[in-house]
Structure formats: structure tokens, C-alpha cells
Amino acid sequence: MKEGIHPEYPAAAVSCACGNSFVTRSTRGDFQVDVCGACHPFYTGTQKLIDAAGRVDKFRKRYAGNAAKDAAKAAAATEAAAAAAELKA
């Protein structure tokens, strides 16, 4: 291998949004991450919603009434079909 072509690979401190921090090696220096091995759902076995700027709440508010509307439409369609079948008989 050629000498002098590889970048420096010093120790780097990584800090997570959950408060966990650890030291690894990196060419980019110290940095922050949103999710680490201590808080990632795959490793912890728990589910945690990461809500960026209220997007999850906005989605739930927008589509909360749709389930009730769909159920009402289905019930009305069933009643209409039953009335039509009764008229034919």
C-alpha cells in the first residue's frame, strides 16, 4: 500500500439526543446523532415515535374522523342494499 494517501482517523466523541455518548474513530471529528444503540427500537425492543415538528400529531388529527365517516358510509350502503332487496321481494 502507498504511504501518505490515507486520511487521519482520530478518536471522535459521538453524542446522542437521548443523552448517551461514546467514543469511536472517525475522519470527520466529533458529531451528534438522533438515534444510537442505547435508544434505537431494534436494540431496545421498545417502540418510540420520533415526532419531527408535530408531523405525527398533524397526521392523526387530519385522519382521525375518517374511520367514523367510513363506518357510517358502510352502514348506509348496507341499509340501502337491504331496502332494495326488500322492494324486489
- pLDDT tens for the chain, 89 residues: list them: 788 898 999 999 999 988 999 999 999 999 999 888 888 878 788 776 666 667 777 888 888 877 777 777 888 888 888 888 777 76
3-state secondary structure of 37: coil
- Provide the CATH number for the domain formed by 1-50 in this structure: 4.10.80.400
CA distance 23 to 8: 16
pLDDT of residue 10: 94
The DSSP element (H or E) to which 88 belongs, if any, is helix 66-88
Q: Where are the domains of the chain?
A: 1-50, 51-89
pLDDT of residue 50: 65
pLDDT of residue 49: 63
